[in-house]
Amino acid sequence: MDLQRHDRIGKIKQWSRNLGRLLTLIGYLLWLGWPASLLFFYGSGTFILFGTKLERTQLSLPSQCALVLFFWCALALSQLLVFHIRKLMAHFSAGDVFNQGALDAAGKALRYGIALFVVEIAMRAGVTLYVMTSGGSYSLSFPFDELISGMLFFGVMYVLLWTLEIGRDLNQESSLTI
């Protein structure tokens, strides 16, 4: 049976192409975050961060710089994540699922996703500590539910990566057998 002509494989290829196009659009939209961060740094007024309303006049210059640095880090990691997932979708749309290129793209996307998750948790903890130490009357709680769901998501992603590695090894072994 020719797997390349199988109906489900054709649908996966089409979905991968569509997802790749969507990720290209998202990648372009992420580039708008860089000028938006400058507007945040030099702007005035109030903003809402993780459900907490903060005045820019309340924030000291080091805390503003820390927020912008966290935002830039998250933005750069998001761009890298989208880039590598787009590469993975390009492999899937070409039917190259179990090869080293797809495995490398999936591994890099997973690592950048974990780094982005860590930056988001650190930023939430930083905002919580800042509000608590500045005497603000904001009710913040640490997002344990997001932490647990993030760990479960990345656990599933590691299983996917493991599956791709086994499929690559079986693919190489079968080509050597033939």
Q: What is the pLDDT along the chain (178 residues), one digit of tens a residue?
A: 345 566 777 888 888 899 999 999 999 999 998 888 777 666 666 666 666 666 666 667 777 777 778 888 999 999 999 999 999 999 888 888 788 888 899 889 999 999 998 888 888 877 777 777 766 655 555 667 777 877 888 878 888 888 888 888 887 777 777 6
pLDDT, position 2: 46
pLDDT, position 56: 63
Q: Which residue shows structure tokens 């760990």?
A: 151
d(CA 10, CA 172): 23
pLDDT, position 73: 92
Q: List Cα–Cα distances, 49 to 68, 88, 123, 128, in angstroms.
A: 12, 32, 10, 10
pLDDT, position 96: 80
pLDDT, position 140: 52
Q: Who's near 171: CB < 8 A, 6+ residues apart?
A: 98, 99
Does the residue 94 lie in any domain?
yes
pLDDT, position 1: 39
* Surface-to-core class of residue 1, CB atoms within 10 Å of its CB (0-12 exposed, 13-18 middle, 19+ buried): exposed
Does the residue 133 lie in any domain?
yes
Does the residue 1 lie in any domain?
no
Structural domain of 154: 7-176
Q: List Cα–Cα distances, 82 to 24, 37, 70, 78, 174, in angstroms.
A: 8, 19, 18, 6, 32
Domain count, the chain: 1
Whether this prediction's pTM lies above 0.85 is answered by no
Does the residue 126 lie in any domain?
yes
Does the residue 2 lie in any domain?
no
